[in-house]
């Protein structure tokens, strides 16, 4: 009879739990129905595109194997699994479809709907429902940001345990938890915005287009972007700290509430009557509170693991994105490098062409200068030769002395310096080699000692690990044995012992990782020191090599200086001979100059006598013109002899026939004496039959006068222009004497001017040479203008080429910087990959531990519920 009440009480307790679970499931069904309606309406509004459902990563698939039970069973574990699974599905759909918080009215109405006969359990059910919804919202928000592609098996979210209640126990009905979730996702959004801003603000390097901005602008932009990035990172860190503080506050509040619930249940159980149903219910409530506290701890660890997984996935996505960007930039840089090489080759070709043009221009300028110098050398040679002679002799002697002295002193100094450098380099090399040998030996011994210590420490840690694993196995076996007895206190003790062992294992692993990191750091430091020593040794060898090369170079320069001194001596001898030749030319030129001066004085005297004779003849002919009985003056003359003579002196007549000009040219080639002898007989024969004898003595002085005139007019070209202001041109009187015999006085006067033919021809030749020289001068001026224009163009092209070369150098520097940055990014990528591998292994281990702990807790819960 005594054993019958116990099964009835247990069946009643199971019925109460089943009724509570049924009420929660009915409320979940209503939530799912309302959510499906809202999803359908929003899918129609958005054009029928279903939103992507959040999925968990593949490593969490161990929780997906649990399928919902087709009907309610007495097993509370399966009922809880089904409840948590449906809660997770509902909140995942809700978060992926709208992301909007639950309205306060709905949460209040659903939370306050009582179950018949169980009013004291409604608050706890509402708290569990709110905790599950908030936990699933956090999970869906964290999983939706992961970039891993989903498979068909990841559509169904995993079931949640009752340990996720702790997230939002103090959740307010105004929906502030959604704002916290949105703020949690904001740093990643800020990071993406910053990365996009950096990508948009980084200038694209291209050589094919002309660069409009300078490197200063790029540097300013990069500095601004770095400052913005640092500010955004600071802001993200502040927000992250604020969120962490809020999460810690919520966790502490949840712990406090759980403790209060456990204490209140414990006090109520103590105050209740022994063996009553109320006491049993309160004991079960106490157990549930303890289980909730344990679940809170597990959910905390699980959330930490998920946060680390989320961070790792974000880092993987960012590294993949940065790798793609670096590949694109590297391709662009390679294209720009090819374009820059093409432009450099074009610039080199243009530079060669410009140099050829400059050489041609310089040659033309040198030819022009030589032509002008040769034209002006005849006038400047006499005045400059004496001063050049003295200066050249003094300079040659001084240069010879100075060159010898400087060459000998420089050779002595260089030889002494090179010997000192060589000896010091040898001593330094020996000292450094000895020092390096000692350091290498010490470093090798230290490395061996460190390796031995690390090996011993590793053996000790492995032994500790094996001991801890054996303890863990023994405790696990004891926990299984104790679970068969189903005592609550032993369960708690075993759990505490498991936690202590886990903490000890974590501390041991952390110590081992710290020791390993210190050993690796010391090994890297030793390797860097070894590299530094090798670099120093290479520097010393290079310095010794450079010193030997300098010594060889100085010896070659010494030989070259000796050859230069010999060449200078030969040039000095040649210059001395040239100076002697110049002195002989100078004396000859001085003698010629004196002769020319004497001739000029004689010509001036003859000119004066000629002017006097002209005046006398003019006066004489004026007296003859006044006599009326003169047979020569019966016909009036057409022009006075003075004016006729002036017309003859004015210049050549362009209307004169060609025969007269030819006669004058032919007469210029005849010597003056022969010309006077040949011209006198026709005039005498002309006057002999028509004139009387008294005219004979007057004609004879005219012939003498003409002979003197021809002698006076045989000037050199320069002397002629200095002596006469107007050139005398040949006249046509040579023909007039044959055709006009009746003009007596004019014919006689014209006879006196015929003898000036040779000097006039010289003047004509000088005028033609002057005109030719003037035309050549004009042509030279045009050529100079053209050459200056070409020179300016060549200079402009050279300036442009220099600018292009400078731009190419800048592009090369920029390419080198980019290559260095790409290498740095590759190194960072490799390190991140290594860190990712290590963390993925750690995550796998943690997941395995979590799965084991979950299995243990499920077994414990099953055993306690049974």
Please spell the DSSP secondary structure of 709-762, one letter per residue.
HHHHT---HHHHHHH-SS-----SHHHHHHH--S-HHHHHHHHHHHTTHHHHHH
Q: How far apart are CA 278 and CA 260, in angstroms?
A: 19
pLDDT at 271 over 90: no
Higher pLDDT among residues 136 and 220, named by residue: 220
- Choose the weakest-confidence range: 46-50, 370-374, 446-450, 646-650: 646-650
* 520: Cβ contacts below 8 Å, ≥ 6 apart: none
pLDDT at 663 over 80: no
Higher pLDDT among residues 447 and 640, named by residue: 447
pLDDT one-digit tens code per residue, 337-396: 888 888 888 888 888 888 887 887 778 778 777 767 776 766 666 667 667 767 767 777
- How much is the pTM? 0.20
- Choose the weakest-confidence range: 107-111, 291-295, 493-497, 571-575: 107-111
The residue count of the chain comes to 866
Cα dihedral value 350, 353, 354, 359, nearest 10: 160
Contact 130, 107 (CB under 8 A): yes
Percent of the chain, pLDDT > 70? 57
pLDDT one-digit tens code per residue, 764-788: 787 788 888 888 888 888 888 888 8
pLDDT one-digit tens code per residue, 596-613: 778 888 888 888 888 888
What pLDDT does residue 764 have?
79
Give SS3 for 669: coil
Sign of CA dihedral 218, 220, 223, 227: negative
**Cβ neighbours around 850 below 10 Å, total:** 17
The residue-averaged pLDDT of 824-849 equals 84
**Confidence tier at 91 by pLDDT (50, 70, 90):** low
**Confidence tier at 83 by pLDDT (50, 70, 90):** low
Q: How far apart are CA 530 and CA 527, in angstroms?
A: 5
Q: How far apart are CA 617 and CA 620, in angstroms?
A: 5
At residue 75, what are phi and psi to the nearest 5 degrees? Answer: -70, 120
**Confidence tier at 17 by pLDDT (50, 70, 90):** low
**Confidence tier at 582 by pLDDT (50, 70, 90):** confident
Q: How far apart are CA 705 and CA 455, in angstroms?
A: 137
758, exposed or middle or buried, with CB in 10 Å at 0-12, 13-18, 19+?
Answer: buried
pLDDT at 629 over 60: no
pLDDT at 162 over 90: no
687, exposed or middle or buried, with CB in 10 Å at 0-12, 13-18, 19+?
Answer: buried
Average of per-residue pLDDT values in the chain: 66
Contact 728, 756 (CB under 8 A): yes
Which candidate, 672, 653, 673, places its Cα nearest to that of 735? Answer: 653
Q: Where are the domains of the chain?
A: 12-60+74-149+156-271
**Confidence tier at 231 by pLDDT (50, 70, 90):** very high
Q: Which of 9-23, 118-132, 418-432, 834-848 has the highest mean pLDDT?
A: 834-848
Q: How far apart are CA 759 and CA 751, in angstroms?
A: 16
pLDDT at 316 over 90: yes
Contact 586, 385 (CB under 8 A): yes
Q: How far apart are CA 300 and CA 163, in angstroms?
A: 8
**Confidence tier at 134 by pLDDT (50, 70, 90):** very low
Cα dihedral value 57, 62, 65, 71, nearest 10: -110
pLDDT at 109 over 80: no
Q: Could you say which DSSP state residue 46 is in?
A: T
Higher pLDDT among residues 858 and 161, named by residue: 858
Higher pLDDT among residues 253 and 232, named by residue: 232
Please give the structure tokens belonging to residue 294. 């344990």
pLDDT at 284 over 80: yes
What pLDDT does residue 309 have?
92
The gap between the terminal CA atoms of the chain, to the nearest Å, is 23
pLDDT one-digit tens code per residue, 664-680: 443 344 444 333 433 34
What pLDDT does residue 547 have?
72
Sign of CA dihedral 233, 238, 244, 246: negative
């Amino acid at each position: 009879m005594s054993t019958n009440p116990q099964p009835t009480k247990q069946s009643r307790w199971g019925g109460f739990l089943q009724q509570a679970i049924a009420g929660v499931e009915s409320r979940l069904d209503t939530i799912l129905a309302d959510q499906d309606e809202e999803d359908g309406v929003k899918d129609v509004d958005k054009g029928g595109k279903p939103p992507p459902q959040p999925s968990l990563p593949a490593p969490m698939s161990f929780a997906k194997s649990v399928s919902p039970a087709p009907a309610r069973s007495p097993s509370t574990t399966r009922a809880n699994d089904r409840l948590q699974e449906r809660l997770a599905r509902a909140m995942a759909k809700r978060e992926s479809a709208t992301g909007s918080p639950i309205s306060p009215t709905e949460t209040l109405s659903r939370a306050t709907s009582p179950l018949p006969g169980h009013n004291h359990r409604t608050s706890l059910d509402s708290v569990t429902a709110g905790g599950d919804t908030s936990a699933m919202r956090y999970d869906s928000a964290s999983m939706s940001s992961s970039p891993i592609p989903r498979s068909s098996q990841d559509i169904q979210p995993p079931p949640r345990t009752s340990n996720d209640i702790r997230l939002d126990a103090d959740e307010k009905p105004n929906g502030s938890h959604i704002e916290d979730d949105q703020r949690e996702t904001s740093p990643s959004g800020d990071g993406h915005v910053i990365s996009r801003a950096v990508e948009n603000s980084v200038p694209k390097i291209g050589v094919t287009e002309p660069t409009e901005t300078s490197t200063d602008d790029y540097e300013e932009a990069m500095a601004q972007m770095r400052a913005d990035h640092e500010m955004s990172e600071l802001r993200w860190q502040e927000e992250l700290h604020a969120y962490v503080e809020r999460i810690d506050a919520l966790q502490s509040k949840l712990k406090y509430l759980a403790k209060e619930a456990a204490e209140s249940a414990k006090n109520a159980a103590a105050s209740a009557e022994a063996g009553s149903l109320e006491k049993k219910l309160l004991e079960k409530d106490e157990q549930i509170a303890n289980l909730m506290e344990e679940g809170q701890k597990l959910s905390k660890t699980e959330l930490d693991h998920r946060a680390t997984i989320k961070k790792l996935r974000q880092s993987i996505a960012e590294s993949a994105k940065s790798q793609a960007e670096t590949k694109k930039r590297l391709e662009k840089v390679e294209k720009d490098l090819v374009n820059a090489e093409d432009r450099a080759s074009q610039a080199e070709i243009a530079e060669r062409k410009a140099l050829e043009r400059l050489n041609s221009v310089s040659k033309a300028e040198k030819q022009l200068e030589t032509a002008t110098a040769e034209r002006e050398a005849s006038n400047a040679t006499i005045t400059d030769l004496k001063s050049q002679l003295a200066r050249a002799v003094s300079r040659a002697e001084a240069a010879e002395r100075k060159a010898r002295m400087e060459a000998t002193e420089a050779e002595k100094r260089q030889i002494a310096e090179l010997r000192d450098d060589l000896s010091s380099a040898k001593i330094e090399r020996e000292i450094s080699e000895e020092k390096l040998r000692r350091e290498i030996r010490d470093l090798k011994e230290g490395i061996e000692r460190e390796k031995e210590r690390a090996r011993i420490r590793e053996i000790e840690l492995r032994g500790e690990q094996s001991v801890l694993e054996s303890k863990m196995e023994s405790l696990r076996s004891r926990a299984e044995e104790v679970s068969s007895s189903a005592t609550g206190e032993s369960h708690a003790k075993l759990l505490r012992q498991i936690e202590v062992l886990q903490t000890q294992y974590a501390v041991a692993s952390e110590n081992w990782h710290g020791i390993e990191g210190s050993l690796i750091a010391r090994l890297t430091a030793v390797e860097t020191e070894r590299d530094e020593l090798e670099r120093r040794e290479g520097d010393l060898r290079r310095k010794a090599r450079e010193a030997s090369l300098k010594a060889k170079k100085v010896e070659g320069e010494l030989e070259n200086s000796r050859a230069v001194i010999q060449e200078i001596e030969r040039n000095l001898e040649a210059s001395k001979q040239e100076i002697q030749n110049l002195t002989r030319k100078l004396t000859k030129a001085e003698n010629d100059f004196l002769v020319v001066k004497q001739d000029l004085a004689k010509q001036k005297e003859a000119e004066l006598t000629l002017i006097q004779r002209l005046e006398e003849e003019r006066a004489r002919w004026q007296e003859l013109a006044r006599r009326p009985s003169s047979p020569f003056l019966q016909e009036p003359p057409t022009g006075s002899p003075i004016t006729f003579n002036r017309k003859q002196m004015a210049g050549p007549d362009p209307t004169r026939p060609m025969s007269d000009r030819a006669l004058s040219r032919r007469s210029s080639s005849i010597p003056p004496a022969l010309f006077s002898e040949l011209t006198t007989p026709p005039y005498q024969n002309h006057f002999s039959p028509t004139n009387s004898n008294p005219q004979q003595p007057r004609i004879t002085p005219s012939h003498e006068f003409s002979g003197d005139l021809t002698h006076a007019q045989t000037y050199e070209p320069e002397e002629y222009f200095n002596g006469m202001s107007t050139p005398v041109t040949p006249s046509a009187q040579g023909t007039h004497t044959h055709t006009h015999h009746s003009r007596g006085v004019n014919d006689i006067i014209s006879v006196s001017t015929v003898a000036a033919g040779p000097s006039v021809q010289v003047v004509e030749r000088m005028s033609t040479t002057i005109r030719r020289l003037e035309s050549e001068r004009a042509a030279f001026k045009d050529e100079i203008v053209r050459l200056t224009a070409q020179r300016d163009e060549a200079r402009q092209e050279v300036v442009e080429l220099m600018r292009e070369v400078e731009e190419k150098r800048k592009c090369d520097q920029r390419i080198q910087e980019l290559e260095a940055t790409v290498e740095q990014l590759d190194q960072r990528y490799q390190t991140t990959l290594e860190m990712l591998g290590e963390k993925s292994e750690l995550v796998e281990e943690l997941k395995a531990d979590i799965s084991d702990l979950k299995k243990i807790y499920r077994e414990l819960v099953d055993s306690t519920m049974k």
